[in-house]
Amino acid sequence: MYTTCPKCSYERRETDTADPGTCPACGIIFSKWMKQKFSSSDSNTRHTDNTDPEKCSSIFDLFVNSVLYIEPNINPFYYYGRVIAFVLMVYIGWNFITLDFHENPFPLANSFMHRIHLVFHEAGHVIFMPFGFFMTILGGTLGQLIMPTVVLGHFLYKQNTFAATVGLWWLAHSFMDIAPYIDDALVQQLVLLGGHTGADAPGNHDWNNILVELDRLEKCNGYANLAYNFGTFLMFIAFAWGAYILFYQYKHIDKRF
């Protein structure tokens, strides 16, 4: 029997005739109230443990609570906007996956995504300039790979998993985008940013310079295939990840809208 009510703090008197398991003031049944209180507390503790990466008990928990996180109460307008974005990702990505970049590199070199990559490619040359000639040249490629990686990591940290899939798709496309440039290192026939080919302006072709420095110029086609295949692999992961997130987000659409 409680002498003091755990809910309203009423102190039981000798003259009270109410059942010992019930508070005379507020009428709660002590056993039920305490059971509900501790049950709610356990639930909150479990929820906190499942969503706080610092308290995850295993790598799998960390994976689930970051990469596969599903936000609650999703605005349907946001959700269907994501669906449209996903359809575009698959459509554009599939066109590049099925492309033979050895025979026809121009769809990649002239795509709108290439223009986005180009901004960070050129910025990479400047950023890595203090680290010497080789890193200045390689910095262009690093710049266009680092930026989508940063975007991917940022959205994972913010638990915006669908936006993170877009970041992964961007990174995948960036790997595919550099493949024709690597493939062209020996013949140098692609038109570069200045409007001329590498053959017309010796020393201006990044990957010719890189592979000459590494004494691997004759392996340019193999490196190009490696970059393109890795980009394709990442893109399929982005497709599968995005589909998973959208499937489970559909179950969390806020019905109040």
pLDDT tens across 196-248, in order?
A: 887 888 888 999 999 999 999 999 999 999 999 999 999 999 999 999 999 99
Exposure class string for 75-93: b at 16+ Cβ within 10 A, else e: eeeebeebeebbeebbebb
Q: How far apart are CA 121 and CA 174, in angstroms?
A: 10
Three-state SS at 117: helix
pTM: 0.74
For range 176-182, the mean pLDDT: 94
Average pLDDT over residues 141-148: 97
Task: Using the predicted structure, report yes or no on whether residue 6 has a pLDDT greater than 80.
Answer: no
5: pLDDT confidence band, cut at 50, 70 and 90? confident
